[in-house]
Amino acid sequence: MRTFWYYETDSTEMANNWLPFSDIGCEILEEAFKTKDEEIELDDYVVNLKENILIKKENKSKQYRIKRVENVSRTEMIRHGRFCDYEPLTNRSFKESDNKGDYRGFIWSWYEKQNESGVVSLPTIIEKAAVGIQIEGKLCRKSHEANWLTNRLLQVKHQKEDIVGKCCIMLYTRECFLYSTINLALRADDQTKFDTLGPFCYLLKFVGLLTLYPDYMYEQIVYRSMNLNLDQIEQYKKAAIDGDLKQWLCFSSTTKSRRVAKFYGGNSLFIIELPINEYSFGIDISKFSIIPEEEEVLLPTQICFRVKKVDYDESKKMHIIHLNMNMYS
């Protein structure tokens, strides 16, 4: 159970006009509440905690009520986007020397670039990651969220790899701009984000996930929902016929719970077989997630798979897409 903060919208299209602040927004508000601050800034808004009012900076006539609710079940806060974002299906691209499927792409390219001028220490990478988060936060008009994230990251700058890795996973599971910005950049292979997001992505994959491997490796079935259009569904059907390796480019959130995956009502349910395989694996990060009830298993970037089959459940009006992450099957 957690304490959440909500703001009242003026939307007439919603049955419930009370929406939760972002995950980090709730943390910032709760910290201010406990220190008895009367007013704080929250990016585009000023929050008057004495009057419980949210005020838009650029138009002070735009004011909204806020409220603090204790003992909210975390199962009520399971995040839609984390398990339902669309993942473009891409062909597997091998380099001549890459016969084991360990092509590292965007993230490893960043690390190699840093090493051109000498060995890069973990504290240096953390500092670069913090600077990048600040830049991206400013671009998203989320500077206060960025400050909160970087403060937590810099606190572990001189800690051991396992502590740094778990911190990065915790920050990644926060519902804020960082998660979505990272995956948008990775899906598009956006080289303009190379310097700002490369450091944190490196920490998340090669310090976070690999530090937990193999102790937290998950080797069973996981699930993910997506809303796919007809063309996208046809791509998966074709992939099931041709048998070629495919990949998802970004970090992919899956869940051990079919119930969690179906909670979002997407038109397609992915049933994913995770093999015992050092090249394609998922890491159970639920212990380190801000919402462990999501039972999240995180798949690394550029994970390879084959589409085994695509079925259609007439009773549920849903496509069932079976993937096998064993690239040698």
| CATH code at position 63 | 3.30.720.50
Residue 101 has a pLDDT of 44
Tell me if 98 is assigned to some domain.
Answer: no
Domain CATH number, residue 257: 3.90.176.10
Residue 172 has a pLDDT of 97
Q: Please tell me whether residues 68 and 88 are part of one structural domain.
A: no
Kindly report the pTM of this predicted structure.
0.90
Q: Please tell me whether residues 221 and 319 are part of one structural domain.
A: yes
Cα–Cα distance list, 34 to 5, 17, 60, 116 (Å) = 13, 26, 26, 47
pLDDT at 329 over 90: no
By CB atoms closer than 10 A (0-12, 13-18, 19+), residue 306 is buried
Tell me if 223 is assigned to some domain.
Answer: yes
Q: From 178, 212, 246, give the residue that closes a domain.
A: 212
Give the pLDDT band (50/70/90) at residue 198: very high
The fraction of the chain above a pLDDT of 70, given in percent, is 87
Cα 238 from chain centroid (whole Å): 28
Cis-peptide into 300, omega within 30 deg = no
Tell me if 259 is assigned to some domain.
Answer: yes
Q: Please tell me whether residues 138 and 225 are part of one structural domain.
A: no
Give the pLDDT band (50/70/90) at residue 313: very high
Q: From 212, 243, 272, give the residue that closes a domain.
A: 212
Cα 30 from chain centroid (whole Å): 23
Which residues form the domain of 6? 2-72
How many domains in the chain?
A: 3
Q: Please tell me whether residues 87 and 147 are part of one structural domain.
A: no
